[in-house]
Amino acid sequence: MSKEFKRKITTQAALAGIIIIAAVAVLIYLGRNIQIVSTKIYGLRNRASIYAADIVQISNLREQAKLAAPYLTKLAVALPSKSNVIVLSNTVNTIALKDGVNVGFRFGAEGQRNSVGLNYVEFEMSVQGPYNNIVQFISDLEGSGNYLVIDNISLLAGSNGMDGVINGRVYFYDNGTGQGQ
């Protein structure tokens, strides 16, 4: 074999080796990038499925809100607005006069507004009169059409029949403006 032939074979082998090494390097580089890209795609697919589930939940909530809307409207119409609650003291005085009970009335703290606008104001009444009249007064108060809850009644024998304190809450609708419906 001649020197030139050996040099050609060596050159070709070297070139083939360089090409093979370059091809392996390119495959390793692309393999890593493919792994990174596939990991990103997998993460994006997971996020997309989470977003799709969230969209379904939002859609369900909207449907439930549509179903609840008529009931919330009835609640807003049925309950007085905050400004109308103030007339409760006049109603209490009218019922007390009719039932022969002396009454003192004052509003207390306002409760926290919830997500549908239902709110309340606490009240306290001092009452004085015959026991049967106070019982009738409480009955008439509960039937007065005001949305109230009596939390506590304390009665003691007094100089003119019974003396007592009635604590409770009166509910109203507040759409966030303080004006109700």
DSSP state of 81: B
Are 124 and 106 contacting, i.e. CB atoms less than 8 angstroms apart? yes
pLDDT at residue 140, rounded to an integer = 92
Q: What is the Cα–Cα distance from 150 to 133, expressed in whole angstroms?
A: 17
Q: How confident is the model at residue 57 (pLDDT cuts 50, 70, 90)?
A: very high
Beta bridge partners of 126: 104, 165
Structure pTM?
A: 0.54
Task: Check whether 181 has a pLDDT greater than 60.
Answer: no
pLDDT at residue 174, rounded to an integer = 67
DSSP state of 174: -
Are 168 and 160 contacting, i.e. CB atoms less than 8 angstroms apart? no
pLDDT 10s digits, 126-176: 999 999 999 999 999 888 877 888 999 999 997 878 999 999 988 877 665
What are the tokens at 34?
A: 């493919």
